[in-house]
Structure 1
Amino acid sequence: MHVATLLKPEMFEIAIDGAPTAIAGLFPDWHLHDRFGLVIDEAFGGIGATHLLQVAQTQYYAARPSRRENVYPEIYAFHIGKGHGAHAPYDFWPRRREVILETLDPRDVLDAINDRGITRLAVPNRPPVTVEHRPKEVEAALDRITSCFVYGAMGRVAGGDVAITGRDRRTEFNPNQVLRPSPAASAARTTPPSGRPVKETEDGYTAWLIERGRDVTDADRARAQARREALKADGLATETYHRTGVMDALGRLAAAGRWDHLAA
């Protein structure tokens, strides 16, 4: 659970509509029971939402600082259609926090999001489509989800109204870990100086990285690395996002994983 000690709110600079803002402007009224969900539909796609995810994690711990001692953040990655590479280094752990949905049915995706009580949701930048969901599932999402964001796998969206810039090189630790080959990412399995248990010392963690490593190719890894480097100035990345409403997010969610043939 390295994120608990790795990241601090002051490591990020946030602007909304071009004006500097506090984290409270990005995630209004964050509370103890907020849960962040990230929908992923292409190889290493979640890396494009790195800073949004990491800022959410700092808020999870800020809501109750004692959590830093022994609790992983309540964050969930929803892989659409298949796995898209291990994102567990961000502390999507234990493995149930990376939800592999071997379906393109958006009704199943929304069911999974509702089942986990997601309150802050990031969806990939796909053209919205209309779907008739199962009874009361949309209403449940509308009742609970308070913030939605559109992100791009490349790290930026055209016309985004939110910009987040890393101000400390530690903000790049997690994407670097995700992009390392699985065996290398888990090579150092020693107990940290703090003595606190961490996922990297668990046999299951290494196995998960290897399993999810089969989802992607070396070409996928190289492309994601090039995308990340393109965002950086002096080693630090700036990402952009688009804030949106729940219904628009659900429409984009419906296209996740099927956007290529929807556009054809």
Structure 2
Amino acid sequence: MHVIDALSTDFYEVELAGAAGTAQDVFAQWNAHDRLGVLIYEPLAALGATHLIQLACMCFYDAKPLRRTERKVYPEMFAIHVGGWWGGHGNFDFWPPRREVQVSNDPQAILGVLNDFGITRLALPERPVRDIVHRRKEEDCALDRLATAVMYSPTGRVAAPDFSIRSNNRRSERDVQRVINPTALSEQSIAQLVQTAVPVKETDADFMPRQLALNAGITEAMREQAVQQRAALKVDGLVTESYRFAELGQVLKRL
């Protein structure tokens, strides 16, 4: 389904420095032209950034409310798989297919994709700063545009976090389960979805084949690990994830 209907900003509670925060504490001054990029280096890793992705989706719609009522577009965000396909994440609304891509595990190539997509808000797994030499001016191009960089963990909890995001609504987990165990809808279900007011990706003929193709390398053991990691984040059935901000001046040395 489309996050326009499925999720709401008030599903998420931000805690920063031990105090209640807001989406603006995570994505300061989000505007209508912001774009989220999520780097994925291992199987189903972006599940650890579920709430960050969903919060960015809400910022996308809140910045320009007519996207919910008139345009009804998918969020401008991109899942970037590094060095292989690490599972289909289309259920998080990384759709159409151009918004979920693969790039070689080469920092220069990764930075090139970030620049090509015009990423302004970056999520990447915890990675150390390294002595990476990028192509001339490519770093300046990215840093001129980047407003936020956040490190996540595939487990959902980073070391020494700067902030956490807690869901207070179980609906936020719906797409997590669909990423872990993608299932094809029946013809009857698709026919019903076609009649809904907001067009949804599940009715696209290439949606499920695309997700199955991206999941070709995902094993049952990987799925089970993802289930266990998600369960470990729950308190009374609700999930809390933690994150750490990455210094913009160093983040491109973490690719």
- By the TM > 0.5 criterion, same fold? yes
If the length of structure 2 is used for normalisation, what is the TM-score?
0.94
What's the % identity of the aligned pairs? Answer: 40
**Residues 25-44 of structure 1 aligned to structure 2 (within 5 Å):** 25-44=25-44
Q: What is the alpha-carbon root mean square deviation over aligned residues?
A: 1.3
Match of 2:75 among 55, 73, 76: 73
Report the counterpart of residue 168 of structure 2 in structure 1.
167
Counterpart secondary structure, 2:254: helix
Structure 1 residue 50: deviation in Å?
Answer: 0.4
Change in 2 beyond 3 A, CA 1:65/1:219: same
Q: Which amino acid aligns with 1:117?
A: G
Say which is worse superposed, 30-39 or 127-136, in terms of deviation: 127-136
**Letter of the 1:36 counterpart:** L
> In the alignment, what sits opposite 1:108?
109
Change (3 A) 1:245 1:186: farther
1:97 offset after TM fit, Å? 0.4
Offset at residue 206 of structure 1 (A): 1.1
Inter-partner Cα distance in structure 2 for 1:71 and 1:17: 34
Equivalences for residues 33-72 of structure 1 within 5 A: 33-69=33-69, 70-72=72-74
The alignment partner of 1:252 has SS state of coil
Q: Distance in 1 between matches of 2:159 and 2:21?
A: 20
Equivalences for residues 1-264 of structure 1 within 5 A: 2-69=2-69, 70-101=72-103, 103-180=104-181, 182=182, 184-187=183-186, 188-192=189-193, 194-253=196-255
Which region of structure 1 is more displaced relative to structure 2, 60-69 or 243-252?
A: 243-252
Q: CA deviation at 1:247?
A: 3.1
Counterpart contact for 1:11–1:171, Cα < 8 Å: yes
Q: Is the 8 A contact 2:2 2:198 kept in 1?
A: no
- The separation in 2 between residues aligned to 1:141 and 1:186, in whole angstroms, is 40
Mark the runs of 5 or more structure 1 residues left unpaired by the alignment.
254-264
Unaligned runs of 5+ in 2: none
SS at match of 1:228: helix
How many residues are treated as equivalent by the alignment? 250
1:78 is paired with a residue whose SS is: strand
Alpha-carbon separation, structure 1, partners of 2:8 and 2:202? 21
Does the aligned pair in 2 maintain the 1:150–1:249 contact within 8 Å? no
Helix, strand or coil at the partner of 2:253: helix
